[in-house]
Structure 1
Amino acid sequence: MNLFRFSNAPSATATDQGQLSARGVLSLMRDHAWEIARIAGLVFALAVVYLYVASPLYSADVLVRVDAPEPNALGIALQNQDNAPPSAPSATAEMQVMQSRSVIQPVLERFRFDISATPVMVPLLGKIASKFANPGELSEPWLGLKTFAWGGEEIKIAALEVPRELEGERMQLVALGSNSYELQGPSGEHLLSGTVGKTESSYGVSMKVEQLVARPGTRFKVIRWNTLDAIAQFLAAVKVKAKEQDTGIVSITYNNEDPALAAEIANALAQQYIASAVSARQRDDTNTLAFINSELPRLRADLKQSEEALNKFRMSSQSLQPTAESQAYLQGGIDFQRQISTLQLQRTQLLRTYQPDSQWVRNVDSQIAQLASAKSTFDARFGNMPTSERMSVELARDARVSESIYLGMVNKAEQLSVRRASTTGGVNVVDYALRPHRPIKPNSLLVLSGGAGIGLVAGVFFVFIRRHVMMGVTDPHFVERVTSVPVFGEVLFSPQQARLDQEISAATRRPTTARNGRTSGAAPVRPLPSIAAAGGGSSPNAASVPRLGFSATRVLAARFPQDVTVEALRVVRTMLNRGLTHVSNNIVMFTGPTPSAGKSFVAANIAVLQAETGSRVLLIDADMRRGRLAYFFGQYNRGGLSDVLAGDTDPSELIRNVGIHGLSFMSCGSYPDNPAELLMKRRFKDMLQRMGQEYDLVIVDTPPFLAVTDAAIVAGEAGATILVLRSGMQSEYEITETVKKLERSEANLVGAIFNAIPLRRSNRNYGYATGYATLDLIEGSD
């Protein structure tokens, strides 16, 4: 069954050019499934290459426990803890300390992370080659590039000091052989030469290389980083986080390409932090102990004075049995006095660090005032007590409060003395880091699945972008709706025609037609009788036509008449004949907006198909700039329209027989310098009128309409104009602009042809099989 899709039905895959329906999206993806698969395969292959060349990254972590902070150094709790002075650092604060310069810098300098020395490799190739190398064993250079590293190179710089202007700059170390090297500056200038194991100094640069394994001429990139830059880079590989909220357990993680080094540095960070915490704790304990020791003599004197006053009062007065009221007064007074005394002691300690008007000192003063006011109210409740009994209670209270504070401070001093000798500082290591076994990056499963997924998305994205941005109009229905020009038919891309084009190109590459029309090795053209040639399948002068080195039949309709593309062209022929019923003459012009639309292909095949109906047809190649219709029939351009318009030859003498009954042909001739001016001559109009009288149909193939003005000139003489569009090649603007200019040229645009539509999975209704005869197909299209 010979089937094709006729253009008068709306497109099933597009609601508008640039807008796809859901069905259209699926159809587009199905049509370009192989392209999507190729892009996905390429991205997947890149993912595989990345897995091979990427350096594995290992992670080692150490667990540290941070003890809960004390309220303050003296262990004295205040009534309002929200406004209390800063306590010892919490776990959250300690996490910031772990990433501070005081912790990071000693580790950085110990492992020399402020010095970067890496071998210079060829991008990608160097990485691949290094995968085959053993540490310390130099690989043979690839492609003879001996100055690059190819695996096995090692370098260790023990010390490097440079002037400030060279910090962060890329220097180059060149191995010279025999354990010697040369250090070059950023511009290649010589800085110093040295030997492995010795400290060398020159031009303000001091350097010591401990190890160098490299082929002579091998280059290394060397950078001495500024301390702040080195710390920032180092911190990028460090991660500090709490394992669980409010547990005080903190994890310090370090990532490195060397698993052993990763564990060593993680442990070093923990040890450095502990050393820093111990130092800070000892310093605080020393300061607190010094304060306590400075206060103890005063507290001891206060205690002695209170006890002496109490004993003296008891000796001078008769001892009375304490009453319940006096016991209550004594206990309450002790509580108030102890709090006031401890706050006064706390205030004294705060004044060592803060100003009297600071928030923390003023907070203590406020609490002291509040307690004093409460104590006054409390004392007023016992105003009726006997004076002697009241004085006895107050002296006993002062003695007991002084004793309590003094003993508490003595105990605190003893605790601080013991703790100051401790090596934990309130933190300790729970788990030291071990050498990791598996890398954390790259994750093979994630990279491969991601590569496949990204590849598919990239493939689909590329297809859509190409359709919307890079490709032109692909929907014939859109053309009809926007331009109101009927589409006579949709012609499929023909692989057979592609092979014919290759044959033509192969043959035309040998002899070529120059601008002056002379072709090497071609016989001169002899006159051909127009009517005699047109009337039959051969001509006595046919052998004299300048021909290429192959058979004259390179027109698809003549070579493969049953091709599905030819069937679609027969429908175009039928629609064209209908469109010519109300035109001024029988001259039909074929043009396209831009080059490569396929107008010459359509014109030649329509001419052959029309000749098959018994009509006498003349095909004229009016593209005197790049015309190549003669090649379709195995002939050269020389001797054609340009010669007629130049006034040198009568048209009848240059009309050729192409070996197809009823079809005659006039080539474009030699390429003139003024084709537009020739077409504007009266001779061209007279020739068309004469040919229109002698032939049933005259088909004129013209240059692209938007490229030059030739087609606009011819359009005014043609009774009908056919616009040939190639699927996906012309933009909406180019199509609409061509239609507008054709209207301004007073052309009778009767229809358009959508050419070279790709045969895809989504348009299988174009499929061709035997079943209907050609005539049935044409009648069915009617």
Structure 2
Amino acid sequence: MTMNQTTNNEDTIDLRELFFSLIVQWKLILLCVLLSIVLALLYLRVTSDTYSVDALVQVESPKGGASAALLGQELSNVMDTSGLGQQLAQAEIEILRSRLVVGTTIEKLNLDITVQPKNDSVIQRLISSSDFSTQYSSRGVLVENDSDHFDIQQFTVPEKYLNSSLLLNISENKQITLTDLDKEEVVFKGQLNQNNILSTRDGLWKVTIFGNPLEEEYIVTKQALPTAVNSLLDNFSAAERGKQTGVIGLSYQGHDKTQITSVLNVILQTYKQQNIERSSAEKEQTLKFLDKQLPELKKELDQAERQFNVFRQQYNTVDVSKESELYLTQSVTLETQKAELQQKQAELSAKYTPEHPAMQEINAQLGAINSKINELNGTLKRLPDVQRQYLQLYRDVEVKTQLYTALLNTYQTLNVAKAGEIGNVRIVDTAIEPVKPIKPKKLIILILSIFVGGFIGVMAALLRKMLRTGIKDASQIENELDFPVYATVPRSPIQESRIKLLKKKKNIPILAIKNSDDIAIESLRSMRTAIHFALANAKNNVIMIAGPAPEVGKSFISTNLAAILAQNNKRVLLIDADMRRGYLHKYFNTEIKPGLSEYLTDQASLEDVTHHSEVSGLDMITRGKSPANPSEILSSAQFQAMLERLMPLYDHILIDTPPVLAVTDGIIISQYSGVNLIVARHAKTHMKELELTVNRFEQAGVKINGFILNDIQASASYGYGYGYNYAYGYKASKDD
């Protein structure tokens, strides 16, 4: 049961500790947020604004158009398209995206020519804003860039150089040079403000550029038609609005709002024009047929009238029976129907194959008419010769007159219908120049950058916490090393801000004097009783404070502990025995020498190196000038003699030593001290360092009294008190 409880405790995540650990690393999170915002601002700086224009097109059913009103339903052959609105819209969308429309637009506006400055890099855009712009029209491409101003009116290259980047350079003598960047060779030379036509083994060059000499070089590319079409379609979209509405919405995106407006409007006009041409194609085919038939029919009519007039002059008049008149009427009707069916057959043949049901029906009707005409002709042959000739000649004149009149009417009607043809599409909305860009969304990007930066910062803080394998709490030292922890000193926000000025100022305020109610000082005050009991069984009143490695807070602990002991009406001496890098003199605003090194080398007396501080009862000895052999000086008999001389004069003597694992100075001093304390730093000092430190002392035969755990970061794992203090402004401190 106990094992299960232990396992559950190990697997449990303390959210309060996790929360406070993130707050402690607020600077890292803020740094990530600021970096993310800076990157977002740089992105917005180098990214051009993108605009979008839109338009609306309505696809109407061809039924009920002008041709139906003028020509009749049969001649226009309009099919019922009810229920096919969606198919019509989808078909028109594919036409809008076809090379027929898009390719024509590209050719009209010269969109297959691209021009860019040679030095158009991201760094260049970060440094300065460019005034480069291009205007596409049917005349060519107008390029403006600061002082440069030129117009590419013609740019035709051999097929080999399509989609190739060519470097455009114009010299002071107005000579045009095009260089292939891939092969780094000049492929064309010409003159500015002239029509340059050059035939080479690769093909024909036609380059015409008007303007002033260029101060910069430009990269010009002539795109192949498929490449230009795909490039335009990447920014062009067409989709039906709603369901079976027949209304198509068009949109086009780009960086130049004037250009994209012009491009979309040209697409609309090109699409409408091809739709009208497609709608009038049937009438055009019929008119071609009538243009061919009308002169021939007129000629046949004139010939029939001449033959009939000659016959009448020869026989003057002929008595025609009523039966012959009936045959004549039937014959004229049949011939007229046959002519109309032949005309209809010609119209349908322009759209259908002979196997189509409509063509088969027309052919069957013509077969029936021909049968009746042959039968009637057989009957007419039995009439008297004069009457038969009269009826045949009269029938030819009547049939051809009616047919010619009908075809002439149809021809005029078709011309009127063709002139009034508007197609079956209607442009509802044309493209107008946009006001605001659609992207980048600056506000959204900045907000997202804050969230992304915060997320990365939190992840970095959690990773940093996971990588910190140092000591987590005091119980870890007590359980693994079996030594007591005399004090756990929380991080002080006041001392942390002051310690950063260590290299900039000559003095560092003593926290126990300036802020005696600080949470770190309160923790050190709790050590007085423990030190009192430790000194009761010690051989002397010397207290050595050491650490396994630099930056654990020895100087901070030594100085403030000495001040706290002196405030308790004790005579206290603080000795800076770190003759290499000690800086306790900055806490007391004292000169570095004369100090301990001068006394041990007989360069100064004990009275000269002992300095009184602003704290009553607290004296200190600085480290002095750094000697060449500090370990040998500390191991001399003079250092021991100095301590024996000072012991009766003070209640407590505190010695701040160098790191134990770095040098042997601390081991040497520990042989003369009564109480030996080791300072470890929370989340930074590793248990292995403490184990090696303890082994060093044990090998020298020195007993360690206990540890001081410094720089504890406020967290739930250390109890409600620390979390409460943190919430009211306490954070942490660093030293060394």
Same fold judged by TM-score > 0.5?
A: yes
CA distance in 2: counterparts of 1:472 and 1:678, whole angstroms: 42
Q: State the shift of 1:642 in Å.
A: 11
- Which deviations, in whole Å up to 9, do the C-alpha atoms of 1:25-80 show, x marking residues without a partner? 7x9679969986995799499669949984362413241416489xxx99999xxx
Q: State the shift of 1:656 in Å.
A: 2.8
Larger Rg: 2
CA distance in 1: counterparts of 2:131 and 2:642, whole angstroms: 77
Distance 1:668 1:725, change over 3 A: farther
User: Which residue in the other structure is 1:556 paired with?
Assistant: 510
- Which deviations, in whole Å up to 9, do the C-alpha atoms of 1:587-622 show, x marking residues without a partner? 555456765444323322323333444545454445
Tell me, what secondary structure is at the counterpart of 1:658? strand
Is residue 2:207 matched to residue 1:208? yes
Q: Does the CA contact (< 8 Å) of 1:591 and 1:723 recur in 2?
A: yes
Q: Does the CA contact (< 8 Å) of 1:616 and 1:662 recur in 2?
A: yes
The residue type equivalent to 1:288 in the other structure is: K
User: Which residue in the other structure is 1:116 paired with?
Assistant: 114
CA distance in 2: counterparts of 1:17 and 1:612, whole angstroms: 44
CA distance in 2: counterparts of 1:22 and 1:606, whole angstroms: 29
Distance 1:243 1:555, change over 3 A: closer
- Which deviations, in whole Å up to 9, do the C-alpha atoms of 1:230-271 show, x marking residues without a partner? 333212220111111112221222223444432332232234
Q: State the shift of 1:195 in Å.
A: 0.9
Tell me, what secondary structure is at the counterpart of 1:288? coil
- Which deviations, in whole Å up to 9, do the C-alpha atoms of 1:422-441 show, x marking residues without a partner? 99897423325142342342
1:659 pairs with one of 612, 622, 645:
612
CA distance in 1: counterparts of 2:525 and 2:92, whole angstroms: 85
Distance 1:500 1:175, change over 3 A: same
2:262 pairs with one of 246, 261, 264:
264
CA distance in 2: counterparts of 1:473 and 1:656, whole angstroms: 45
CA distance in 2: counterparts of 1:691 and 1:226, whole angstroms: 99
CA distance in 2: counterparts of 1:200 and 1:582, whole angstroms: 109
CA distance in 1: counterparts of 2:145 and 2:30, whole angstroms: 36
Q: State the shift of 1:712 in Å.
A: 8.2
User: Which residue in the other structure is 1:493 paired with?
Assistant: 493
Within-5 A mapping of 1:52-201: 54-55=48-49, 57-65=51-59, 67=61, 90-119=88-117, 120=119, 151=146, 153-161=148-156, 168=163, 170-174=165-169, 176=171, 181-186=176-181, 190-193=186-189, 194-199=191-196
CA distance in 1: counterparts of 2:516 and 2:527, whole angstroms: 15
The residue type equivalent to 2:488 in the other structure is: F
CA distance in 1: counterparts of 2:209 and 2:92, whole angstroms: 37
CA distance in 2: counterparts of 1:441 and 1:269, whole angstroms: 21
User: Which residue in the other structure is 2:534 paired with?
Assistant: 580
Distance 1:432 1:701, change over 3 A: same
TM-score (norm 2): 0.58
Within-5 A mapping of 1:429-578: 429-442=426-439, 447-448=442-443, 450=444, 453-454=447-448, 456-458=450-452, 460-461=454-455, 464-465=458-459, 467-470=461-464, 479-480=473-474, 483=477, 487-494=487-494, 502=501, 505=504, 554-556=508-510, 560=514, 562=516, 564=518, 567-568=521-522, 570-571=524-525, 573-574=527-528, 577=531
User: Which residue in the other structure is 2:385 paired with?
Assistant: none
Is residue 2:221 matched to residue 1:223? yes
Q: Does the CA contact (< 8 Å) of 1:558 and 1:608 recur in 2?
A: yes
CA distance in 1: counterparts of 2:101 and 2:217, whole angstroms: 34
Distance 1:95 1:436, change over 3 A: same
Is residue 2:253 matched to residue 1:255? yes
CA distance in 1: counterparts of 2:501 and 2:194, whole angstroms: 70
1:604 pairs with one of 537, 541, 559:
559
CA distance in 1: counterparts of 2:632 and 2:11, whole angstroms: 42
Q: State the shift of 1:752 in Å.
A: 0.8
CA distance in 2: counterparts of 1:310 and 1:22, whole angstroms: 113
Within-5 A mapping of 1:700-739: 700-703=655-658, 708=662, 713=667, 719-725=675-681, 730-731=683-684, 734-739=685-690
User: Which residue in the other structure is 1:234 paired with?
Assistant: 232
Q: Does the CA contact (< 8 Å) of 1:623 and 1:668 recur in 2?
A: no
Tell me, what secondary structure is at the counterpart of 1:113? coil
User: Which residue in the other structure is 1:753 paired with?
Assistant: 710
Q: Does the CA contact (< 8 Å) of 1:157 and 1:209 recur in 2?
A: yes
User: Which residue in the other structure is 1:348 paired with?
Assistant: none
Distance 1:501 1:117, change over 3 A: closer
Q: State the shift of 1:704 in Å.
A: 5.4
Pairwise CA RMSD: 6.2
- Which deviations, in whole Å up to 9, do the C-alpha atoms of 1:59-116 show, x marking residues without a partner? 13241416489xxx99999xxxxxxxx9996433442343234432332233233222
CA distance in 1: counterparts of 2:427 and 2:266, whole angstroms: 14
The residue type equivalent to 2:707 in the other structure is: V
Q: Does the CA contact (< 8 Å) of 1:255 and 1:262 recur in 2?
A: yes
Identity between Structure 1 and Structure 2 (%): 15
Report how many residues are paired: 571
CA distance in 2: counterparts of 1:424 and 1:602, whole angstroms: 99
> Which segments of 5 or more consecutive residues in structure 1 lack a partner in the other structure?
1-14, 78-85, 137-148, 312-413, 508-552, 769-782
Tell me, what secondary structure is at the counterpart of 2:351? helix
Q: Does the CA contact (< 8 Å) of 2:42 and 2:126 recur in 1?
A: no
Distance 1:88 1:597, change over 3 A: closer
Within-5 A mapping of 1:274-293: 274=272, 288-289=351-352, 291=354
Q: Does the CA contact (< 8 Å) of 1:639 and 1:654 recur in 2?
A: no
Q: State the shift of 1:632 in Å.
A: 4.0
Distance 1:712 1:63, change over 3 A: farther
- Which deviations, in whole Å up to 9, do the C-alpha atoms of 1:201-231 show, x marking residues without a partner? 59869463545467x5223343344544433
Distance 1:757 1:36, change over 3 A: same
Distance 1:657 1:264, change over 3 A: same
Tell me, what secondary structure is at the counterpart of 1:262? helix
1:636 pairs with one of 578, 592, 596:
592
The residue type equivalent to 1:299 in the other structure is: A
TM-score (norm 1): 0.55
1:299 pairs with one of 349, 353, 364:
364
The residue type equivalent to 2:560 in the other structure is: N
Tell me, what secondary structure is at the counterpart of 2:555? helix
CA distance in 1: counterparts of 2:90 and 2:439, whole angstroms: 31
Q: State the shift of 1:483 in Å.
A: 5.0
Is residue 2:242 matched to residue 1:244? yes
Tell me, what secondary structure is at the counterpart of 1:605? helix
CA distance in 1: counterparts of 2:449 and 2:681, whole angstroms: 33
> Which segments of 5 or more consecutive residues in structure 2 lack a partner in the other structure?
1-9, 64-75, 136-143, 286-347, 377-409, 479-484, 699-703, 716-721, 732-736
Q: Does the CA contact (< 8 Å) of 1:556 and 1:566 recur in 2?
A: no
CA distance in 1: counterparts of 2:197 and 2:593, whole angstroms: 80
The residue type equivalent to 1:665 in the other structure is: I
Distance 1:104 1:150, change over 3 A: closer
